[in-house]
Amino acid sequence: MGKEPVRAPTSILPLRLHDVSFVAGERPIVDRISLVLDAGPRTVILGPNGAGKSVLMRLCHGLLAPTSGRIEWASRERPGERRRQAMVFQRPVMLRRSAIANVEYALGLAGILAVERTRQARDALGSVGLGHLAERSARVLSGGEQQRLALARAWALRPEVLFLDEPTASLDPGASAEVERIVEAIHAAGTKIVMCTHNLGQARRLGDEILFLHQGRLAERAPVDRFFDQPASPEAKAFIKGELPWT
Amino acid sequence: MDLKRRIVLAAALAAAALPLAAQEKFIIVASTTSTEQSGLFGYLLPIFEKETGIKVRVVALGTGQALDLGRRGDADVVFVHDPAAERKFLDEGAGVNYKQVMYNDFVIIGPKSDPARIAGGKDVLAALKKIESAKAPFVSRADKSGTHAAELRYWKAAGVDIDSQKGPWYKETGSGMGPALNTASSMNAYILADRGTWLAFNNRGDLAILVEGDQKLFNQYGIMLVNPAKHPHVKKDLGNAFINWVVSPAGQKAISDYKVGGEQLFFPNYKAG
Amino acid sequence: METILHALRDASRLVAAFDPKLVEIVALSLEVSLTAVVLATALALPLGAAIGVSKFRGRQTVIVVLNASMGLPPVVVGLLVYLLLSRAGPLGEMGLLFTPTAMVIAQTVLILPIIAALTRQAVEDAWREYREQLRSLGAGGWSAALTLVWDIRFSLLTAVLAGLGRAAAEVGAVMIVGGNIDGVTRVMTTAIALETSKGDLALALGLGVILVTLVLVLNAAAYALKEAAQRRYG
């Protein structure tokens, strides 16, 4: 896949969060976070379990509504229009159809016409190395293959932003490496990557900047090298020291 | 299959299920279980249909229920066997064109072991008195049917106040003749039944006819048109055609021709005027 | 034991001979119950799916009531529909009482809650799995629900079959609104009731065997279909 411009005439970036909180029960899972996400650097959200990473991404992507605060994209997505952001989850969810049909389904939602759909779906599958499994039933594919399929599906939509929620947490090292390669390719093609992980090695490999969350608060934000070599906050220091493994 | 196609298919199937009888001539006759289960209707109605082209749809319930059906206008004709109730129906203005059609008889059925010693008797009242004193198991239909009404009349005439004198020996099933016979058969109990249903009944167990022939056991059937003045939709012409045929020589002959095991069950007794 | 053997013998004789009365009764039973299932599914599937995917005030109450309605006694449903269709009732003008249409109506009312409740459960469970992904892709409201329902169609088949089983097996509703009229509204269950009350237990049991066999065959076919789909689609 060559480099194709993904900035629509009116880009949805930058994304601004103003004092966003998400409370369920007593404790806030996301606690008064303000930040700006813009095109360019691959953003990795890092933090221990329960830090609020997944919830933060779902808030940005629109799957959850904040309890307080504002989330503003530069240009609003209207319901019924083609989505300009996509998300890949830790466990891929596929319809009971063939691999290519799953991609075509997403393209159908984006308003692509039938004949075009098949062509674009085939391209997408080819770019993640699943061309030979196009007609196979999606749910009988292996975990790694399904995750690659999820990436193909998201990529086919040419999103401006791609959110990834611990995409390799359930995969073996071989499959994880495949997925990381594909994420790289998507970034190279111009999509903004926002990924959360608890794997330090992956964060270092894939990230340009780190957003470090601790107990729902944004504890630190820094370019990747500075974060790992000279963490500024005590929480980050402790996290980097205590976390295993490094791959 | 998407939703829209599913709905259209459903509507099409529903339309197909609608009775084609919209083009068919038919009447609804509310009658009793004895006339249906004895097989009389199975014999009689095809003859009527052949002659007139009118199909008769019989809803077989008990006398009380059949008359209630008539009162609500859910039937065109009622054909039951309880003269007192029929009179009341007529007096209410619920029915017109009343004719007495035929009679059959009741018999007392009981176990061959006969604990109350009534076998061979010719007096129904004496037999019932003996059953009550012996507190022998007795099954009552207790369902507002003509048979049930007759049973209550006999208890009263025998001097037994059944309401206060009944005990665990008196089993009220609230059911039709057939199910009540089933119950009596499985309990080896006495029961008052119409001969027709008994003759057609297959699950006799140890039961047999013990008392018969008493004049009081004769059971009169009457037929009426549901009053079209009260229920304008009643098929007055078709209904009257049926009534008139049943009391006509042809109809009356058909009734006496019907036999089960060589035995005649119903005796036509229509008298004009 | 003898009665049961007689019954099996009677049943096989009737079937082998294609006894016309029997064929008529079986055909009517299938027509009434299948029509009721189609109608009930057309109404219950969207209803169950809608409840399964939406959040609204009183949702828990609706679900409890729906689940409880699965246990509606057929004879009570029959009584209610009878009161509706009787000449003395609100829909009396239509003259539907004692017709197969009345039986279809009664059975539809009876099995609608079953299909809706089971659909609701299946859809709700699947929704938990699919919701985020479908929303992420931009599928909204109805579109997502329909996609979901189509995806779990083989599980929903089980719900539909449960409805069919209930309809084919009940006697209370069709007896009251149909009147068990010979040649017009007599179905397998009411014929069995009639033969039993006439004391013809062997014949009644024979009819019963045929009825149970039919329902078994339907269920077996659906099971095989589900298994095949599971193997193919995962």
The CATH number covering residue B175 comes to: 3.40.190.10
What's the pLDDT at B2?
A: 57
A247 falls within a domain: no
All residues of chain B having their beta carbon less than 8 Å from the beta carbon of residue C201 are 202-203
Give domain status of residue B273, yes or no: no
Nearest CA in chain C to B22: C95
* pLDDT tens per residue, range A64-105: 999 999 999 998 887 767 789 999 999 999 999 999 999 999
Give the Cα separation of A23 and A30 in Å (integer): 7
CATH code assigned at A187: 3.40.50.300
Show which subunits contact C, needing at least 3 CB pairs below 8 angstroms: A, B
Q: Do B154 and B239 share a domain, yes or no?
A: no
The mean pLDDT of chain A is 90
Q: Which residues contact B81 (CB under 8 A, 6 or more apart)?
A: B32, B34, B63, B104, B146, B147, B219, B220, B221, B222
Share of chain C above pLDDT 70, in %: 99
Does a structural domain hold residue A139?
yes
Q: How many domains does chain A have?
A: 1
Instruction: Give B41-62 pLDDT, tens digit per residue.
Output: 999 999 999 999 999 999 998 8
B117 and B212 fall within a common domain: yes
Instruction: Give the number of domains in chain B.
Output: 2
Tell me the nearest-neighbour CA distance from A237 into chain C, angstroms: 34
Residue B236 pLDDT more than 70? yes
- What value does the mean pLDDT of chain B take? 89
Q: Give the pLDDT band (50/70/90) at residue B20.
A: very low
User: What's the pLDDT at A8?
Assistant: 53
A246 pLDDT exceeds 50? no
Is residue B250 domain-resident? yes
C31 interaction partners in chain B (CB closer than 8 Å)? 16-17
DSSP conformation letters of B117-151: --TT---HHHHHHHHHHHT--EEE--SS-HHHHHH
Backbone dihedral region for residue C206 (phi beyond 0: left; psi -120 to 50: alpha; all else: beta): alpha
Are residues B96 and B134 both part of a single domain? Answer: no
Identify the residue with better confidence: C196 or B92.
Answer: B92
Looking at residues B223-241, what average pLDDT do you find? 96
Tell me the pLDDT tens digit for each residue of B192-228. Answer: 998 888 888 888 999 999 999 888 898 899 999 999 9
Minimal-distance CA residue of chain A relative to C127? A93
- Whether C128 has its CB under 8 Å from any CB of chain A: the answer is no
In chain B, residues 129-168 whose CB comes closer than 8 Å to chain C: none
B24 plus B153 within the same structural domain: no
Average pLDDT over residues A30-56: 92
pLDDT for residue C141: 78
pLDDT confidence of A245, banded at 50, 70, 90?
A: very low
- Whether residues C137 and A96 touch (CB distance < 8 A) is answered with no
What does residue C150 show for φ and ψ, rounded to 5 degrees? -65, -35
Between residues C219 and B77, the one the model is more confident about: B77
In this structure, how many other beta carbons lie within 10 angstroms of the beta carbon of residue A184?
14
Query: Is B58 in contact with C182 (Cβ distance < 8 A)?
Result: yes
Touching C: B residues 179-198, CB under 8 Å: 179, 181-182, 185, 197
What is the pLDDT, as a whole number, of residue C218?
A: 84
Contact C100 B17 (CB under 8 A): yes
B and C: number of Cβ contacts within 8 A: 103
Is the Cβ–Cβ distance between A183 and A206 less than 8 Å? yes
Q: What is the mean pLDDT of residues C76-83?
A: 96
pLDDT tens column, B134-183: 999 999 999 888 899 999 999 999 999 999 988 999 999 998 888 899 99
Distance from CA of B259 to the nearest CA of C (A): 17
Q: Find tokens 């097996």 and name the residue.
A: C169
Classify burial at B220, counting beta carbons within 10 Å of its beta carbon; exposed 0-12, middle 13-18, buried 19 or more.
Answer: middle
CB-based contact C181 B57, cutoff 8 Å = yes
- Whether this prediction's pTM lies above 0.90 is answered by no
Tell which wins on pLDDT, B7 or A181.
Answer: A181
> Is residue A5 in a domain?
no
**Closest by CA position to C101, among listed C174, C172, C42:** C174
Residue C59 confidence (pLDDT) above 80: yes
Chain B residues with CB-CB distance to C86 below 8 A: 72-74
Instruction: Please indicate whether, in this complex, the C-beta atoms of B185 and C41 are within 8 angstroms of each other.
Output: no
Residues B55 and B17 in one domain: yes
Mean pLDDT of B219-244: 95
What is the reported pLDDT for C205?
Answer: 84
Does a structural domain hold residue B130? yes
pLDDT band at B8 (very low <50, low <70, confident <90, very high): low
Is A6 contained in some domain? no
Does B176 touch chain C if contact means CB atoms closer than 8 Å?
yes
Mean per-residue pLDDT for A162-188? 95
Q: Is the pLDDT assigned to residue B17 strictly greater than 60?
A: no
- Enclosing domain of residue A72: 15-242
| A5 pLDDT higher than 80 | no
Per-residue pLDDT of C105-117, as tens digits, reads: 999 999 999 999 9
Put simply, whether A93 touches C (Cβ < 8 Å) is yes
Least confident span in A97-106, A228-237, C170-179: A228-237
CA distance C106 to C199: 28
Q: Specify the pLDDT at position B14.
A: 54
Nearest C-alpha in C relative to A163? C136
Which CATH number does the domain housing residue C134 bear? 1.10.3720.10
Structural domain contains residue B173: yes
Q: What percent of chain B has pLDDT over 70?
A: 91
Question: Best residue in C125, C128, C129, C133 to probe A by mutation, most A CBs within 10 Å?
Answer: C133
Is C71 touching A (CB cutoff 8 A)?
no
Domain count, chain C: 1
Per the structure, the complete domain to which residue B255 belongs is given by 3-102+220-268
Mean pLDDT of C215-224: 86
Q: Subunits touching A (CB < 8 Å, at least 3 pairs)?
A: C
B200 closest CB neighbour out of C45, C101, C198: C198
Burial grade of B230 (CB within 10 A; 0-12, 13-18, 19 or more): middle
* A33 belongs to a structural domain: yes
Digit-coded pLDDT (tens) for C117-141: 999 999 999 999 999 999 999 997 7
To which residue do tokens 């008539």 refer?
B70
Task: Give the residue from B44, B201, B203 with the most C CB atoms within 10 Å of its CB, the best one to mutate.
Answer: B203
Over residues C163-184, mean pLDDT: 93
Q: Check if A121 contacts C (Cβ < 8 Å).
A: no
Considering only CB atoms, C35 lies closest to which of B13, B58, B59, namely B13
Tell whether A2 is covered by a domain. no
Closest CA to B68 of B81, B87, B85: B85
